């Protein structure tokens, strides 16, 4: 094994990208952005600009176009889907806003539609303006229904940037800066595919079920946990081992805890099922949705709960100004209609399977590729220093990212070293294969340049 070039200075690739942008209007806008906005990890300073977004494409001020395989998980339908745009325009003319305590047809119709789409008895709904708020509403419902205040969640999970959502989340980026204690009672355990599971022995499936037993161990020891809140599939992405969620749900039932599934990035067909938890043969007690629910245009999220969990009528658990906004509701209704009419759930399953097969065929022999995994149109390529040890190689992943961006493909790096590819469900097959070829070429070029054997 040779020394891996480019691992010592992870900012080198970003600096080269910035130099390549030149001194045009894009660079000027990025500088203005950096001056005007509070800086934060993962957001500011920005990597580029957007002047136009249409379908699977985003375009910067210099006219460079990128296929968007990130989109903050809002772009299931791509950008500016004609049916969603038309629905929003019609609703703006008919009824642009509804104050609290007044209902309206689009909001009620959306709540009814979500209840009909969801499996089981997940038919009582509340809307929020973002996923973080939806998760906090779900936690309030769990506390009220059980009379308990503790929660159990997973290290490395993400449930939003709000104070309560960050408390149950497990990403250090959203927790480490907060002075003083987070939300009381927020307990954490190792997730499936933890470090030992990924790189140790026994294999991932056996270890994953051992992690499920740890959930039960903590539920039994704590004795007063209101809910387990989790992502059904980690958006890193990592797929749970067979039987994992069935074991966790059974443990919740035995110990009186509710199971909350955060489907904000994974729901609405992205994984090849309408809800990602459907892959695992369970129906949780509460589900949260968001991101793509607004059709890639407007912010709306939702909480879906069993009817018997409608126990909060004497106090406010959301009370948001835009709780029943008719415009965002109409955008969400149009989004659901497009998903059904264009059979996008089945399409995501079919294209995702083919995409992973294509990547494995081309990349699985490279020393820098540790794993290729995912469900539907949410899949990833793990970049490592060597395939046997699977030691993460974040510097190489960053170089691959900027090479891909220069070739016209934008995506996200998760967990520091996983190329996370999440194309819109409406992507044309030829565009999908072109994008994957660009990413594969970037992986091959960086691997060769690093001198990996």
What is the distance between the alpha carbons of residues 50 and 410, in angstroms, rounded to a whole number?
12
Q: How many residues does the chain have?
A: 453
Residue 33 belongs to a domain: yes
Residues 33 and 104 in one domain: no
**Order of strands across the sheet that contains 412-414:** 369-375, 378-383, 418-421, 412-414
What is the distance between the alpha carbons of residues 369 and 447, in angstroms, rounded to a whole number?
9
Given a cut of 80, whether residue 122 has pLDDT beyond it is yes
What is the DSSP secondary structure assignment for residue 173, as one 8-state letter?
Answer: G
Residue 368 belongs to a domain: yes
- CATH number for the domain spanning 195: value is 3.40.640.10
What is the distance between the alpha carbons of residues 66 and 43, in angstroms, rounded to a whole number?
18
The DSSP bridge pattern shows strands 122-128 and 150-154 to be unpaired
What is the DSSP secondary structure assignment for residue 59, as one 8-state letter?
Answer: E
Q: Provide the percentage of residues in the chain whose pLDDT is more than 90.
A: 77
When mean pLDDT is compared across 80-94, 174-188, 384-398, the lowest value belongs to: 174-188
Residue 7 belongs to a domain: no
Residue 6, pLDDT score = 45
- CATH number for the domain spanning 362: value is 3.90.1150.10
Residues 319 and 353 in one domain: no
Residues 388 and 275 in one domain: no
Residue 4 belongs to a domain: no
| pLDDT tens, residue by residue, 266-284 | 999 999 999 999 999 999 9
Residues 107 and 71 in one domain: no
Q: Provide the percentage of residues in the chain whose pLDDT is more than 70.
A: 93
Residue 197, pLDDT score = 60
Residues 380 and 432 in one domain: yes
Residues 350 and 316 in one domain: no
Tell me the mean pLDDT in the region 108-121: 98
Query: For the whole prediction, is pTM greater than 0.75?
Result: yes
> In angstroms, what CA-CA distances link 258 with 127, 155, 170?
20, 19, 19
Handedness of CA 413, 415, 419, 424 (dihedral sign): negative
Residue 6 belongs to a domain: no
Given a cut of 80, whether residue 133 has pLDDT beyond it is yes
> What residue numbers bound the domain in which 331 lies?
82-341
Tell me the mean pLDDT in the region 73-91: 98
| pLDDT tens, residue by residue, 39-57 | 888 787 788 899 999 999 9
Residues 122 and 165 in one domain: yes
Residue 300, pLDDT score = 98
Instruction: Name the average pLDDT for the chain.
Output: 91
Among 318, 341, 364, give the residue marking a domain's end. Answer: 341
Residue 2 belongs to a domain: no
Given a cut of 50, whether residue 219 has pLDDT beyond it is yes
Residues 44 and 106 in one domain: no
What is the distance between the alpha carbons of residues 65 and 120, in angstroms, rounded to a whole number?
43
Among 341, 357, 375, give the residue marking a domain's end. Answer: 341
Residues 350 and 225 in one domain: no
Residues 58 and 107 in one domain: no
Residue 453, pLDDT score = 58
H-type alpha helices, 59-104? 82-94
Residue 100 belongs to a domain: yes
Given a cut of 90, whether residue 216 has pLDDT beyond it is yes
Query: What's the domain count of the chain?
Result: 2
Handedness of CA 95, 98, 104, 105 (dihedral sign): positive
Do residues 82 and 54 make contact, with C-beta atoms less than 8 angstroms apart?
A: no
> In angstroms, what CA-CA distances link 58 with 20, 30, 53, 64, 97?
18, 16, 4, 8, 30
Given a cut of 90, whether residue 8 has pLDDT beyond it is no
Q: Is residue 203 very low, low, confident or very high in pLDDT (cuts 50, 70, 90)?
A: low
Among 341, 371, 399, give the residue marking a domain's end. Answer: 341
Q: Is residue 452 very low, low, confident or very high in pLDDT (cuts 50, 70, 90)?
A: confident
What is the distance between the alpha carbons of residues 244 and 410, in angstroms, rounded to a whole number?
32
Q: How far is CA 396 from the centre of its chain?
A: 23
Given a cut of 50, whether residue 152 has pLDDT beyond it is yes
Residues 307 and 371 in one domain: no
> In angstroms, what CA-CA distances link 209 with 174, 240, 242?
28, 9, 8
Residues 333 and 378 in one domain: no
Residue 208, pLDDT score = 64
Q: Which residues, including other chains, have CB under 8 Å from residue 11's CB and lie 6 or more apart?
A: none
């Amino acid at each position: 094994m040779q020394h891996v070039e480019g691992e010592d200075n992870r900012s080198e690739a970003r600096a080269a990208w910035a130099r390549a942008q030149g001194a045009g209007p894009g660079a000027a806008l990025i500088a203005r952005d950096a001056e005007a906005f509070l800086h934060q990890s993962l957001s500011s300073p920005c990597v580029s600009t957007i002047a136009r977004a249409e379908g699977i494409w985003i375009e910067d001020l210099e006219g460079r176009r990128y296929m968007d395989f990130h989109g903050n998980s809002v772009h299931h339908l791509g950008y500016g889907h004609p049916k969603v745009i038309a629905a929003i325009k019609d609703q703006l003319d008919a009824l642009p806003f509804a104050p609290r305590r007044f209902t309206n047809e689009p909001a009620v119709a959306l709540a009814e539609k979500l209840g009909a789409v969801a499996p089981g008895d997940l038919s009582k709904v509340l809307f929020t303006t973002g996923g973080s708020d939806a998760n906090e509403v779900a936690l309030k419902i769990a506390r009220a229904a059980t009379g308990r205040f503790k929660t159990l969640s997973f290290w490395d999970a993400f449930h939003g940037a709000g104070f309560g959502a960050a408390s149950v989340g497990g990403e250090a980026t959203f927790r480490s800066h907060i002075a003083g204690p987070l939300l009381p009672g927020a307990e954490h355990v190792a997730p499936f595919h933890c470090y030992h599971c990924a790189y140790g022995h026994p294999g991932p499936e056996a270890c994953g079920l051992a992690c499920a037993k740890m959930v039960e161990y903590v539920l039994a020891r704590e004795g007063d946990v209101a809910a387990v809140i989790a992502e059904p599939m980690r958006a890193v992405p990592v797929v749970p081992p067979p039987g994992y969620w069935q074991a966790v749900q059974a443990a919740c039932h035995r110990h009186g805890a509710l199971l909350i599934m955060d489907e904000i990035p994974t729901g609405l067909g992205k994984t090849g099922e309408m809800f990602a938890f459907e892959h695992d043969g369970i129906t949780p007690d509460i589900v949260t949705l968001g991101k793509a629910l607004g059709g890639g245009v407007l912010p709306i999220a939702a909480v879906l709960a069993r009817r018997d969990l409608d126990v909060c009528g004497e106090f406010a658990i959301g009370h948001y100004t835009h709780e029943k906004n008719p415009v965002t509701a109409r955008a969400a209704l149009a989004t659901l209609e497009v998903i059904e009419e264009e059979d996008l759930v089945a399409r995501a399953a079919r294209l995702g399977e083919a995409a992973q097969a294509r990547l494995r065929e081309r990349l699985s022999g490279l020393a820098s590729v540790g794993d290729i995994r995912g469900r539907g149109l949410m899949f990833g390529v793990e970049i490592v220093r060597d395939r046997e040890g699977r030691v993460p190689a974040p510097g190489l992943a960053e170089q691959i990212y900027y090479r891909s961006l220069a070739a016209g493909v934008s995506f996200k790096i998760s967990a520091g070293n996983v190329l996370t590819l999440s194309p819109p469900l409406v992507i044309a097959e030829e565009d999908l294969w072109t994008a994957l070829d660009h990413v594969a070429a970037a992986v091959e070029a960086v691997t060769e340049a690093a001198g990996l054997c």
